[in-house]
Amino acid sequence: MNILEIQGQSGISRILIGESLRNLSNYVPGAKTIIITDKNVSRHHGSLLSGFDLIELETGENIKTLQTVESIYQKLLEYQADRTTFIAAVGGGIVCDLAGFAASTYLRWLDFGYVASTLLAQVDASVGGKTGVNLQGYKNLVGVFNQPRFVICDLNLLETLPSEEILSGMAEIVKHAVIGDPELFETLERNPESALSLRKDLLEKIITASIQVKADIVNRDEKEKGERRKLNFGHTLGHALERTQSISHGKAVSLGMAFAVDLSVRSQLLSESEARRIKSLLFNLKLPVKTELDMALIFDAINKDKKRIGDTLHFVCLRGIGQPVITEISMSELEMVIHDLC
């Protein structure tokens, strides 16, 4: 097992990579624990959840709403949760974001921890203390920063995960490698197939290295005042693609990263050869780097976010593998570049 720590304003979060859901009771403080999970996790791994009070949610991004949070509050009331009750989320990013937000607000704050059951939740969503829900189609518009007391990354849980979900996690791992860890990048370059087939020793290594990149950034900028923006690499375009093309988050982010790489070359920041290496790695991990896209639609989607992000947006480019640069780009420049590159 590998252990990493995040020092947040609300406390220390310990991330345990290679620990098992079976040992959950060793980490929850003495008093009553309520588990929040979803139907899929419960179907595959429910036997490991027996003995706890359970709140079982539906699945899918459209349950990430205040209504679901209210339904969690109602269950907490029924279970007579009090200040000493501990909330354990067992699930992917959706369960963690919802449970973390519900715990942070019920009785103004209940202590909570996560057992991350998807690759994406292990390397990304469970790490860093952002909790929250969507509002009127805007992602994660309502939320709070609050660190879970612990995050258990149980590698065995990933065996039941659909391959599309593995790809989504892989895209975030590549993102972390590209923005912060050239050695992780090389490890992935050497072993794409073993990574995809979830070879345990390799998996523990790449998950740990990937979390380390995010943890280091969060430790320096918990509240996203500057450096944390690096984590948006591939996501400006990625989110727009996800919304307009009905493709998975991982594929959208992969295309977003490929676009950011092209933009970096065009801006004379990144060499052609490094750009090729990044796109080859994505390709070898079965992630897309090229597609037929309706650019007008995508630009509209980015533009729709203008209300929220203002007239210029922060766009993460690269000077090299492991060297992200946050640039500011106006909406009209972006439109031109999208037009040129696609």
Ligand X SMILES: NC(=O)c1ccc[n+]([C@@H]2O[C@H](COP(=O)([O-])OP(=O)(O)OC[C@H]3O[C@@H](n4cnc5c(N)ncnc54)[C@H](O)[C@@H]3O)[C@@H](O)[C@H]2O)c1
Which of the following is catalytic: 139, 228, 286, 314? 228
Active-site residue flag, 44: no
Q: Which two tokens stand for residue 304?
A: 């729709």
Q: Does 238 bind ligand X (CB under 6 A)?
A: no
Which of the following is catalytic: 176, 235, 243, 251? 235
Which of the following is catalytic: 165, 172, 242, 274? 172
Q: Name which position in 6, 49, 87, 91 contacts ligand X (CB under 6 A).
A: 91
Q: Does 61 bind ligand X (CB under 6 A)?
A: yes
Contact present, 237 and 298 (Cβ < 8 Å): yes
Which of the following is catalytic: 40, 134, 146, 232? 232
Q: Name which position in 19, 124, 242, 274 contacts ligand X (CB under 6 A).
A: 124
CB of 60 to ligand X, least distance (A): 6
Among candidates 250, 206, 184, 160, which has minimal Cα distance to 18? 206
Q: Does 58 bind ligand X (CB under 6 A)?
A: no
CB of 304 to ligand X, least distance (A): 17
Return d(Cα 135, Cα 130) in angstroms, integer: 16
Q: Which residues inside 126-185 make contact with ligand X, applying CB under 6 A? A: 128, 130, 139-140, 157, 160-161, 165, 168
Which residues contact ligand X by CB under 6 A? Answer: 38, 40-41, 44, 59, 61, 64, 91-95, 97, 117-118, 120-121, 124-125, 128, 130, 139-140, 157, 160-161, 165, 168
